[in-house]
Amino acid sequence: MSELVLGVFDPVFAAYAVFIGGLLIVAGLVLTVLGPIMKKDVSSIWRTYLGWLIMIPALLGALYLGRVATIIGVGLLSMRGFKEFARATGLYEDWWHVVAVYLGIAAVTATSLVADPNTGDAGWYGMFMASPAYIIAALMTIPIIRNETRGQLQRVSLSIVGFVYLGWMFGHLGFLANSEQFYGYLLYLLFAVQLNDIAAFTFGKLFGKHKLRSEISPNKTVEGSLGALATSMALPWLLHFSFPHFGTAELVLTGLIVGVGGQFGDLTISFIKRDVGVKDMGVLIPGHGGILDRVDSLIFVAPLFFHMVRWFHGV
Amino acid sequence: MSDWDYRPASDLDQGLSERLAGFPREPHLWMYVVRSIAALAIRLWLRLYHRMEIVGRDNLPLGQSFVLVANHQSHLDALMLTSGVPLRYLHRTFPAAAADYFFSSLPRSAFASVVINGLPFDRKTKGAESLAVCRQLLGNPGNVLIIFPEGTRSATGDLGRFRSGIGRLVEGTDTPVVPAYLAGAYEAFPKGALFPRPRKVILRIGEARSYGNLEAGRETVDHICADLAGAVRALG
């Protein structure tokens, strides 16, 4: 474990850092050269690029610092994501529920950090998995403590979705940091869901004809979606060094989870936004919208990947 | 089954500086926490460093919305007046703050909105709009609006002319207006000084009055201004 603390000595981390850093530099150069040549306004792309320039060092930095920083980082992202969700739905006006969910996310983060009291393993898996039962029970008691009924079912329901989906399911990403191979798993997931997004966009632009889900996200196409799935299915083999212990079954499942789950995650946040009636969940990251607009795919992918890995290899 | 009634925050698509300068402000948990801590620190500072004394606190018609007016000599004034209101009304106490000064840059906006809970008041071009915001605020119960009717800090410490805004705000309404006098703030922290001096300050709160029985008009506005200026001066 000690050699993992200094990520720079980890070949997987170093490979990703060099690769992603290289991509950033190349993209920056291409934008600098292409803008004047194409005589097009690339300022919105620049904003997106600057957003990446902030996010990537922050992500790599947290991972580099090791499991504690990664788990806390995921917890903070969850809280921020829940805040955006609460503000978009109006739940934020009710601070009992907001504070309760914040505490719930903090508790889940704590179960990922502490050692299992029975086995001594990093991360208290049993309590982590049991946490929804406790937190939902706690949320249910809020109307009772306050002796209120009006609108309480709606608030409790929104709180449960907020906690379970944005806190606990996303929290699997943090728990994954307890694994010996956590650099490979996390860096792969972060990279693969982005590539999945980009592939869907690119294939959609090139070949897109049929709308995928016209009511939810009118710009997505079936062609883009299939292109993304194909890309995501191929990627585990290309980046096999991230998880050298994976056999064919794990590689296929990883491709499916990212390729299918990533798109479902994207569409999940999209339908929530459509129902609520907002365009973006926030404006935290320049050119990217809010946290939830950025991590939408990961929320869906993280628990599926986690339990697949755990089934085959343990965490 | 009918659809749920969502209410997205109105500032969802705004950046930080816009959100801070906007009004009414959407609630933010961290803002309330920071403001509460700051309020405790400010009250402690005023009590210890300035030995602040509050006279006539019972005159505040707490529970209903009211306007608190006072003389303006110092940056301590708004802090003293908010400290005169019980802590549980902290987040419902809004000192009207000049938009062209307090909301002109990000650090100032952050301080004015998070710590002071200021209401951005446009004293130059959109006075009528700002008054409408104030009226809306007073329409909800339990809000405290702090106004310095002179419109700016006195350079000499003497009470200046009351501008017409306060008259136009409360003419023909039953909104209670509470006059107050701030003594010692000019000596402690006059306009142009860099740091407050440890002088004693006193906040004297007078009896509430209202102007619901007067007919709206230019003369009434002048009358209200003169009446309030007299009430403030009488406390001095």
Q: Chain A: which residues have CB within 8 Å of chain B?
A: 87-90, 92-93, 95, 98-99, 154, 275-283
Q: Which of A117, A148, A178 is the last residue of a domain?
A: A178
Chain-chain contact of B13 with A279 (C-beta, under 8 angstroms): yes
Alpha-carbon gap, residue A93 to A159, rounded angstroms = 12
Contacts of A278 in chain B (CB under 8 A): 8, 12-13
Please state the rounded mean pLDDT for residues A202-226: 94
CA angle A9, A10, A13 (to 5 degrees): 115
Q: What is the identity of the amino acid at A248? A: T
Residue A75 token pair = 């917890």
| Helix count and strand count (H, E) for chain A | 13, 0
Alpha-carbon gap, residue B68 to B149, rounded angstroms = 10
Q: Say what the pLDDT of residue A8 is.
A: 57
Nearest C-alpha of chain B: how many angstroms from A8? 35
Same-domain pairing of A187 and A315: yes
B192 CB near a chain A CB, below 8 Å?
A: no
Give me the DSSP letters along chain B: -PPP-----TTTT--HHHHHH-SSPPP-HHHHHHHHHHHHHHHHHHHHTS--EEE-GGGS-TTS-EEEEE---BTHHHHHHHHHS-GGGGGGEEEEEEHHHHTSSHHHHHIIIIIS--EEE--SS-HHHHHHHHHHHHHSTT-EEEE-TTSS--SSSS--PPPTHHHHHHTT----EEEEEEESHHHHSBTT-SS------EEEE---B--TTSPPSHHHHHHHHHHHHHHHHHH-
Q: Is the ipTM of this complex over 0.90?
A: no
Same-domain pairing of A297 and A197: yes
Chain-chain contact of B6 with A88 (C-beta, under 8 angstroms): yes
The CATH number that applies at residue B189 is 3.40.1130.10
Domain-embedded: residue B2:
no
Q: Which of A10, A42, A65 is the last residue of a domain?
A: A65
Mean pLDDT of chain A: 93
- Those residues whose C-beta lies under 8 Å from the C-beta of residue B1, and which sit 6 or more positions away, are none
Domain-embedded: residue B19:
no
Chain-chain contact of A276 with B15 (C-beta, under 8 angstroms): no
Same-domain pairing of A45 and A79: no
Chain-chain contact of A90 with B8 (C-beta, under 8 angstroms): yes
Q: Is A266 buried (19+), middle (13-18) or exposed (0-12) by CB count in 10 A?
A: buried
Domain-embedded: residue B3:
no
Give the pLDDT confidence of B185-211 residue by residue, as tens digits. 999 998 888 999 999 999 999 999 999
- Those residues whose C-beta lies under 8 Å from the C-beta of residue A171, and which sit 6 or more positions away, are A74, A75, A78, A105, A108, A109, A112, A128, A302
Would you give the DSSP letter of residue A305? Answer: H
Give the pLDDT confidence of A1-12 residue by residue, as tens digits. 444 455 557 889
pLDDT of residue B105 exceeding 50, the answer is: yes
Nearest C-alpha of chain A: how many angstroms from B47? 32
Give the pLDDT confidence of A57-89 residue by residue, as tens digits. 999 999 999 999 999 999 999 999 999 999 999
Contacts of A273 in chain B (CB under 8 A): none
Domain-embedded: residue A70:
no
B30 CB near a chain A CB, below 8 Å?
A: no
Chain-chain contact of A88 with B9 (C-beta, under 8 angstroms): yes
Would you give the DSSP letter of residue A36? Answer: H
Same-domain pairing of A124 and A207: no
Same-domain pairing of A196 and A310: yes
Q: Measuring CA to CA, which residue among B100, B216, B225 is closest to residue B150? A: B225
Contacts of B8 in chain A (CB under 8 A): 87-90, 276-278
Domain-embedded: residue B198:
yes
Same-domain pairing of A171 and A198: no
Q: Say what the pLDDT of residue A7 is.
A: 52
Backbone angles phi, psi at A115, to 5 degrees: -85, 150
Same-domain pairing of A232 and A267: yes
Please state the rounded mean pLDDT for residues B218-233: 94
pLDDT band at A298 (very low <50, low <70, confident <90, very high): very high
Domain-embedded: residue A184:
yes
Q: Which of B3, B4, B25 to mutate to test the interface with A (most CBs of A within 10 A)?
A: B4
Contacts of A279 in chain B (CB under 8 A): 13
Give the pLDDT confidence of B15-41 residue by residue, as tens digits. 888 888 889 898 889 999 999 999 999
Same-domain pairing of A2 and A16: yes
Contacts of B13 in chain A (CB under 8 A): 278-280, 283
Structural domain of residue B160, as residue ranges?
27-235
Chain-chain contact of A275 with B9 (C-beta, under 8 angstroms): no
Alpha-carbon gap, residue B91 to B93, rounded angstroms = 6
Structural domain of residue A306, as residue ranges?
180-315
Q: Say what the pLDDT of residue A4 is.
A: 47
pLDDT of residue B133 exceeding 70, the answer is: yes
Q: Say what the pLDDT of residue A118 is.
A: 93
Domain-embedded: residue B142:
yes
Q: Structural domain tally of chain B?
A: 1
- Those residues whose C-beta lies under 8 Å from the C-beta of residue B83, and which sit 6 or more positions away, are B39, B42, B43, B46, B52, B54, B203
Q: Which of A178, A212, A229 is the last residue of a domain?
A: A178
Chain-chain contact of B29 with A98 (C-beta, under 8 angstroms): yes
Contacts of B12 in chain A (CB under 8 A): 87-88, 278, 280-283
Q: Say what the pLDDT of residue A2 is.
A: 46
Q: Measuring CA to CA, which residue among B227, B78, B217 is closest to residue B145? A: B78
Domain-embedded: residue A200:
yes
Residue pair A191/A184 in contact (Cβ under 8 Å)? The answer is: no
Residue B78 token pair = 């708004």
B141 CB near a chain A CB, below 8 Å?
A: no
B26 CB near a chain A CB, below 8 Å?
A: yes
Residue B15 token pair = 């950046």
Domain-embedded: residue B7:
no
Q: Say what the pLDDT of residue A1 is.
A: 45
Strands ordered across the beta sheet of B202-205:
B53-55, B202-205, B177-183, B66-70, B144-147, B93-98, B119-121
Residue B25 token pair = 């402000």
Q: Structural domain tally of chain A?
A: 3
CA A158 to each of CA A85, A269, A272: distance values in angstroms, whole numbers, following the listed order: 9, 14, 11
Picking from B6, B7, B12, the nearest residue to A282 by CB comes out as: B12
Residue B211 token pair = 């102007």
